[in-house]
Structure 1
Amino acid sequence: MTRQAQLDQLEAQVRDTLQEGDILFISINSFLYKQVARGTGSWCSHVGFVVREQGEWFVMESAVPVVKRSPLRSFLSKTCEDQVAIRRLKSGVSSDQIDRLKAEAEKRLGTFYHLGFKYDSKRQFCSKFVHECFRDALDIKLGKVETLEVLLEQNPQASVGFWRAWYFGLIPWQRRTLTPASQLADDALETVFSTRSC
């Protein structure tokens, strides 16, 4: 099967499952994102949430370089080995809540990406963006905010050498961050579709 055919099949499966407000997890095939996944003991390294506009599906995401609205197919095309999971709030999402989620996402469109994954920053990164939108729109905090020290202590398989180099020789141990893996495991969500075990 060609890559195009694989993507067609994956997109069709995802479209058949989607509801607005669903959260999509993927695995990006780049060195940085692979280190993010490895450092959290998870397969996933990127996350966004789904909205529908004028009959089309889009994923609101914080990506390099800015927060943007991506067509569903464009978002899915970034995942490696067709790895994707869709998780949904167990409590459900009303149309009014969807409107609030969209409004929070719109406020952040164009905000630059924080390559140092600093939660306490005006910049965004994927899991922080999802966390903030759901927190401010629905008062639901998805994922766990923790320091780099705690995160790396809990994940001994992480490459401390890589992160030391990434932070120019000195890891900011007390920097707070938030990972896609912690959202993938959040008890407020249920998995409604996955191409692999979550």
Structure 2
Amino acid sequence: MSAAAMPELQIGDLVFIRIPVLFFRKVADTTASWTNHVGIVTGQKDGVWQVAESCVPFARQRSFDAFVARSENRRYCIRRLPVPLDADQQQRLQQAVARRLGTLYHTGFALHSRRQFCSKFVHEVLREACGIRVGRIETFAQLLGRNPDAQLGFWRLWFFGRIPWRRETITPASELSCPHMTTVFDCA
């Protein structure tokens, strides 16, 4: 896909990718989605668009090109809020991101932890900066119960024998399907 075919990015755009590592593929399979990772566009640095993300081992920013280069088959999707962020919201978004950079990744996906994971990072940044909520907060019981094909054996192993059924989380898939956002680009 040529760069000319992609629309101009905006601060606050969400960028969805699929990381081709077993653990992240299990996240996608469990949520019945192609995506397993999300980041948020924060602006430009030296003319290059930047995406902030929570990733292993900690939250950071990288160029848009480096972010999407990690995606399986370079597939990515850009979703946008219905109204562009004003200058004040953009500044608050950048400040919310800056406060989270360097925060360790949470491999247990606990929404109420001090640590971050990608969908929690995006959810918190938009909520804090703009009062906008993206995605669906749900328990592991709700998430795993919705997908009869979810491989509970993998998740039991991941959680050392005990799935935290009541733990609240949020997924990239729920943010991808968020009804008040618009898909502005998908190179599927």
Counterpart of 2:159 in structure 1: which amino acid?
Answer: Y
Aligned to 2:34: 43
**In 2, Cα distance between the equivalents of 1:16 and 1:172?**
40
Deviation (angstroms), 1:102:
0.4
**In 2, Cα distance between the equivalents of 1:72 and 1:15?**
12
Deviation (angstroms), 1:91:
2.2
Aligned to 2:110: 118
Aligned to 1:77: 69
Deviations 1:80-115 (A, max 9, x none): 012110000012211221111000000001000000
Deviation (angstroms), 1:32:
0.5
The alignment of Structure 1 onto Structure 2 pairs a total of residues equal to 187
1:53 to 34, 42, 45: 45
TM-score by length of 2: 0.95
Would the alpha carbon gap of residues 148 and 18 (structure 1) be closer, same or farther in structure 2, given more than 3 Å must change? Answer: same
**In 1, Cα distance between the equivalents of 2:150 and 2:6?**
34
Mind listing any 5+ residue stretches in structure 2 that lack a counterpart? none
On the 8 A contact 2:19/2:70 being kept in 1, the answer is yes
Secondary structure in 2 aligned to 1:28?
A: coil
1:25 to 16, 32, 36: 16
Which has a greater percent of strand? 1
TM-score by length of 1: 0.91
Deviations 1:18-68 (A, max 9, x none): 122111000000000000000001000000011223322110000000010
Would the alpha carbon gap of residues 83 and 130 (structure 1) be closer, same or farther in structure 2, given more than 3 Å must change? Answer: same
Secondary structure in 2 aligned to 1:172?
A: coil
Deviation (angstroms), 1:72:
1.4
Counterpart of 2:69 in structure 1: which amino acid?
Answer: S
Q: CA RMSD in A?
A: 1.3
Secondary structure in 2 aligned to 1:17?
A: coil
**In 2, Cα distance between the equivalents of 1:56 and 1:145?**
33
Aligned to 2:138: 146
Q: Is 2:166 the counterpart of 1:167?
A: no
Mind listing any 5+ residue stretches in structure 1 that lack a counterpart? 1-8
Secondary structure in 1 aligned to 2:40?
A: strand
Bigger Cα displacement from structure 2, 23-32 vs 154-163:
154-163
**In 1, Cα distance between the equivalents of 2:8 and 2:34?**
21
Bigger Cα displacement from structure 2, 34-43 vs 47-56:
47-56
Counterpart of 2:87 in structure 1: which amino acid?
Answer: S
